[in-house]
Structure 1
Amino acid sequence: MKNIKLNYGRDSINLSLDEKNILGAIEGNEFKVSKSEDEIILDALHNPIGSPRLKELVHTGETVCLIIPDITRAWQRTDKFLYRLVEELNTGGVKDEDITIISAAGSHRKQTKEEHEKLLGKELSKRLCIIDHDSFDKENLAYVGETTYGTPVLVNRKALKCDHIVLAGGIVYHFLAGYAGGRKSILPGICSYETIMHNHSLCLKENLGEGKNPDVASSKLKGNPVHEDMMQAAAFLRPTFMFNVIAGHNGKIAAAVSGNYVEAFYEGCKIVDTMDGVTITEKAELVIATAGGFPKDINFYQSIKTILNAKEAVSEGGTIIILSQCSEGLGGNEDVQNMILNYDNLLDREKELRREYSISKDVGYIFCEIADKYNVIFVSDLDPELVKKANITVVKTLDEALQLTWNRKGKDLRTYVMTAAASTFPKMVY
C-alpha cells in the first residue's frame, strides 16, 4: 500500500491505495530557483525579449500609463517589482507626475486605500496615485475598433491619452484565455463591461446545444478565440513594454519576463508549462485531487481550477474525487449559485448562459458540464443538497468517496493522485 498526504482545509487527509493501481502522482515539476526575487526581477528588466530596455523606450516629457492587476491577483506580488519599473521610467526621464497607474480591475469592484497600498508597496503609494478602472464608466471609455470576432473594443480614456502603455502582472494557466497575463491587462483589464462579456462569450460554440468550445481551455492559445480576440484588442493600443512574473510553488516569484508584449508573453507561457504542465501518456479511470488546502478550497466556487485540471487526467465516464472543504459554502455570487441550484439540465443552463453571459454563470455551467461527463464526488463540508441538481455527490470522508467509487466501478482502477491540482495541469502526450 502507498500512503499519500493530501491537504484539506487547514489540515490533511491520508490516502492509502494499492500501489499497483497508482499510475502516478501528478505534481508540479521541479523548478530550481537560484536567485532572490529582486535578482529575478532585475535580470528580466535588464534583459528584455524582443525589445530595448524600458528606460530606452521612454523620454523626458512623455507620459506613461502603467497598468497593474487588482487585489484579486495579489499573488502577482506587484509590491515586489513595481518600484523597479518606476525606477526604469525615472532613469529614462519620465517624472513621477507623468506616470498614471491604472489597476486593471476588469469587471471587479473598486478597491480600498489599504488594498492600493498593498499593490504599490508603502513607499511607492506615497509617491504615485492609482486609479481603479471602472468598466461601467461610459464617460471614461473610448471606442478604438472592432475585432474580427465582432467584439467592440472600448477602453479606458486615461490610458489612451498617455504616450506609452506598460503592462505589469503575472502569467498562470487560465481556463478561458489559456494563460493569464500579457494582453489580459488590456482585455478584460481596462475595457468596458460589454467588451469583456462579448470576449468571454466566445467560449461557447455557435449553436445552442453545442455547449462550450473545446479550444477555449487552459494552456490553449492557438485556435482559442478568447485569446485571439484579446490579442487583437491589445493591438489597438500597441503597448510599449510588458513585465510579467511567474509564481513558484511556494508563492514567491520564481521567474519573470519583460519586453515586447507579444514575444515576452509567449516566452512566459513556456515557463509556466515548464513549471506546472505535467506530461501524462495515458488517462486514468480515477483521479483523486486536492486543491492544496486553505485558502484554495475555501468554497465551492474556488474549486473550479481543481476540477478543471483534474478532468484533464481522467477518461470520459471516469471518476473524479475532489478534496475541497468549502468551509464558506458555495461562494461566488448569485449568478453561479443560480446556475447550480435552479436548473436540472445542461441545455437550460446553456440557454441562460447565452441569454446574458457572465463569468460566474460560466463557472457554474462548467461544474455541471463536467459532472455530466464524469462521476464527480466531493469530499467536503458542503451541504449535499446544494449541488444535487448539478449531479455532484458530496460525502464527508475520503473513505466514503472511495467506497462509493469501488461499489460502482470495482477496486482495480487505474488512478492518478493530484496533490496540488489547483495549479498543476496534466498535458496528454499521444
Structure 2
Amino acid sequence: MKKIEMNYGRVKVTASLKEENLMGIIEGNEFKLTKSEDEIILDALHNPIGSPRLKELVHSGETVCLVIPDVTRAWQKTDRFLSKIIEELNAGGVNDKDITIISALGSHRNQTAEEHEKLIGKDLVKRFDVIDHDCFDKENLVYLGETTYGTPVILNKKAVECDHVVLAGGIVYHFLAGCGGGRKTVLPGISSYETIMKNHSLSLSKNLGEGKNEDAKCGKLKGNPIHEDMMQAAAFLKPTFLFNVIAGHDGNIAAAVSGNYVEAFYEGCNIVEQMDGVEINDKADLVIATAGGYPKDINFYQTSKTIINAREAVKEGGTIIILSECSEGLGGNQDVQDILLNFDTLLDREKELRREYSISKDVGYIFCETACKFDVIMVSDLNPELLKKANIKVVKTLDEALEITYNKKGENLKTYVMTAAANTFPRIK
C-alpha cells in the first residue's frame, strides 16, 4: 500500500492506496527562486515586455491613474510593489499630486481606512488617498462603447480622464476568465454593475437547460468569451502600462511581469501555467483532493477552487473525494447558500442564475453541477444536511469516503491524489 499524507484543517490525514491503482500524485511544479521579492519586482519594472520603461512613457504635468486590487486580493501584495511603480512615475517627472489611486472593487463593498493602508502600505497612505471604485455611482461612470459581445463598456470616469492608466495586481488561474489579472482590473475592476453582469453572464450557454458555457473556464483564454470580452473592454481604456505579480506556493511573490498590458499579461499567464498547470496523460476513475489545509479549507465557499481543479482530473461519472474541514461552515454570502439550500434541481438553479447573475450564485451552481456529473464526497465537519439538496455526501473520515466509493464501484479504481488542489490545475497533454 502507498501511504500519502494530506493536509486537513490543522492536522494531517493519511491516504492508504493500492500502488497499482495510483496514477500519480498531482502537485505544483517546482519553480526555483534565485531572487528576493524586491529583486523580482525591480527586475520586472526595469525590463518591461513590449514597452519602454514606465518612466519613459510619462511626462511632467501629465496625470496618471494607478488601478490596484481591493483587499479581497491582498495576496497580490500591492504594498510591496506600489512604491516602486510610483518611483518610476516620479522619475518620469510625474508629481504626487497628479497621481490618482483607484481600488478596483468591481461590485465588492467599500473598504475601511485600515484596509486602504493594508493595500498601499503605511508610507504611501500618508502621501495618497485611495478611491474605492463604485460600480453604481452613475455620476462617476462614463460610456465608451460596446464590445462585439454586446457588453456596454461603462468605466470609472476618473480613470478615463487621466492621461495614463497603469494596471497593477496579480495573475492567477480564474474559474471563469481563464486567468485573473491584467484586463480584469478594468472589467470587472472599474466597470459599472451593468457592464460586470453582462460580461459575467457570458459564463452561461445561450439556451436555458444547457447550463454553463464550456469555453468559460479555468485555464482557457483562447475562445473564452468572458476573457475576450474583458480584453475588448480594456482596449477602450488603452492602459499605458501593466505590472502584475505571480504568487508562489508559499504565498510570496515568485515572479512579476510589466509592460504592454496585452503582451505582459499573456507572458504572466504562461508563468502561471509553468508553476501551477500540471500535465496528466489520462483522467482517473477517482480523485482524492485536499485544498491544502487551513485556511484554504476554512469554509465550503473557499473549497470552490479545489473542486473546480479536481474535476479536471477525473472522468465524467467518476468520483471526487474532497478533504475540506470547513471549520467556519458554508461561508460565502446569502447567494451561494440559497443556491445550495433552497433549490431541488439543477435547472431551477440555472433559472435563478439567469434571473439575476452573481459570482456567488455561479460558485454555488458549479458545486451542484459537479455533483450531477460526478459522485462527490466531502470529508468535512459540515452538517451533512447542508449539502443534501446539492447531492454532495458529507462524511467524517477519508476511510469512510473510500469505503462508500469502493462498495459502489469496486476497489480497482485508477486514482489521482491532489495534495494542493486549490493551487494546482491538471491539464491533459
SS of corresponding position for 2:123: helix
Shift of 1:125: 1.1
Shift of 1:10: 1.5
Shift of 1:331: 0.9
Residue in 2 aligned with 1:284? 284
Shift of 1:24: 0.4
SS of corresponding position for 1:122: coil
Could you tell me which amino acid in structure 1 is paired with residue 306 of structure 2? Answer: T
Shift of 1:19: 1.2
SS of corresponding position for 1:160: helix
Unmatched 5+ stretches in structure 2? none
Query: For residues 223 and 41 of structure 1, what CA distance do their matches in structure 2 show?
Result: 31
Matched, 1:400 2:400: yes
User: How far does the alpha carbon of each residue in 1:119-143 deviate from its partner, in whole angstroms, 9 at most, with x for none?
Assistant: 1011111111111111111111111
Residue in 1 aligned with 2:246? 246
User: How far does the alpha carbon of each residue in 1:298-355 deviate from its partner, in whole angstroms, 9 at most, with x for none?
Assistant: 1111111000000000000000000011111111111111111011111111111111
Query: For residues 375 and 129 of structure 1, what CA distance do their matches in structure 2 show?
Result: 50
Shift of 1:219: 0.8
Query: For residues 335 and 138 of structure 1, what CA distance do their matches in structure 2 show?
Result: 25
Residue in 1 aligned with 2:389? 389
Residue in 1 aligned with 2:47? 47
Residue in 1 aligned with 2:77? 77
Could you tell me which amino acid in structure 2 is paired with residue 223 of structure 1? Answer: G
Shift of 1:113: 1.1
Could you tell me which amino acid in structure 1 is paired with residue 58 of structure 2? Answer: V
Residue in 1 aligned with 2:3? 3
Could you tell me which amino acid in structure 2 is paired with residue 25 of structure 1? Answer: I
With the length of structure 1 as denominator, give the TM-score of the two structures: 0.99
SS of corresponding position for 2:285: strand
Query: For residues 321 and 417 of structure 2, what CA distance do their matches in structure 1 show?
Result: 10
Shift of 1:153: 1.2
Residue in 2 aligned with 1:125? 125
Residue in 1 aligned with 2:325? 325
Shift of 1:168: 0.2
Shift of 1:103: 0.4
Query: For residues 164 and 194 of structure 2, what CA distance do their matches in structure 1 show?
Result: 25
User: How far does the alpha carbon of each residue in 1:269-299 deviate from its partner, in whole angstroms, 9 at most, with x for none?
Assistant: 0000000000000000000000011111111
User: How far does the alpha carbon of each residue in 1:366-410 deviate from its partner, in whole angstroms, 9 at most, with x for none?
Assistant: 000000000000000111101101100000111110100011011
Shift of 1:17: 1.2
Matched, 1:212 2:223: no
Residue in 2 aligned with 1:365? 365
Shift of 1:15: 1.3
User: How far does the alpha carbon of each residue in 1:237-279 deviate from its partner, in whole angstroms, 9 at most, with x for none?
Assistant: 0000000000001100000000000000000000000000000
User: How far does the alpha carbon of each residue in 1:223-243 deviate from its partner, in whole angstroms, 9 at most, with x for none?
Assistant: 100000000000000000000
Residue pairs, 1:234-273, within 5 angstroms: 234-273=234-273
Number of residue pairs the alignment of both structures matches? 429
Shift of 1:114: 1.1
Residue pairs, 1:87-126, within 5 angstroms: 87-126=87-126
Query: For residues 193 and 327 of structure 2, what CA distance do their matches in structure 1 show?
Result: 31
Query: For residues 198 and 89 of structure 1, what CA distance do their matches in structure 2 show?
Result: 35
Query: For residues 242 and 206 of structure 1, what CA distance do their matches in structure 2 show?
Result: 33
Query: For residues 228 and 65 of structure 2, what CA distance do their matches in structure 1 show?
Result: 23
Residue in 2 aligned with 1:339? 339
Query: For residues 5 and 145 of structure 1, what CA distance do their matches in structure 2 show?
Result: 53
Shift of 1:180: 0.2
Query: For residues 107 and 422 of structure 2, what CA distance do their matches in structure 1 show?
Result: 23
Could you tell me which amino acid in structure 2 is paired with residue 16 of structure 1? Answer: S
Taking every aligned residue pair, what percent have the same amino acid on both sides?
Answer: 76
Query: For residues 133 and 176 of structure 2, what CA distance do their matches in structure 1 show?
Result: 21
Residue pairs, 1:56-205, within 5 angstroms: 56-205=56-205
Query: For residues 355 and 15 of structure 2, what CA distance do their matches in structure 1 show?
Result: 43
SS of corresponding position for 2:330: coil
SS of corresponding position for 1:3: strand
Could you tell me which amino acid in structure 2 is paired with residue 305 of structure 1? Answer: K
Query: For residues 46 and 24 of structure 1, what CA distance do their matches in structure 2 show?
Result: 41
SS of corresponding position for 1:389: coil
**RMSD of aligned C-alpha atoms?**
0.6
Query: For residues 97 and 9 of structure 1, what CA distance do their matches in structure 2 show?
Result: 47
Residue pairs, 1:403-422, within 5 angstroms: 403-422=403-422
Could you tell me which amino acid in structure 2 is paired with residue 60 of structure 1? Answer: S
Query: For residues 7 and 198 of structure 2, what CA distance do their matches in structure 1 show?
Result: 38
Matched, 1:34 2:26: no
SS of corresponding position for 1:362: helix
Shift of 1:165: 0.2
User: How far does the alpha carbon of each residue in 1:144-175 deviate from its partner, in whole angstroms, 9 at most, with x for none?
Assistant: 11111011111111111110000000000000
Query: For residues 204 and 304 of structure 2, what CA distance do their matches in structure 1 show?
Result: 18
Could you tell me which amino acid in structure 1 is paired with residue 360 of structure 2? Answer: S
Shift of 1:5: 1.2
Shift of 1:206: 0.6
Could you tell me which amino acid in structure 1 is paired with residue 265 of structure 2? Answer: F
Residue in 1 aligned with 2:307? 307
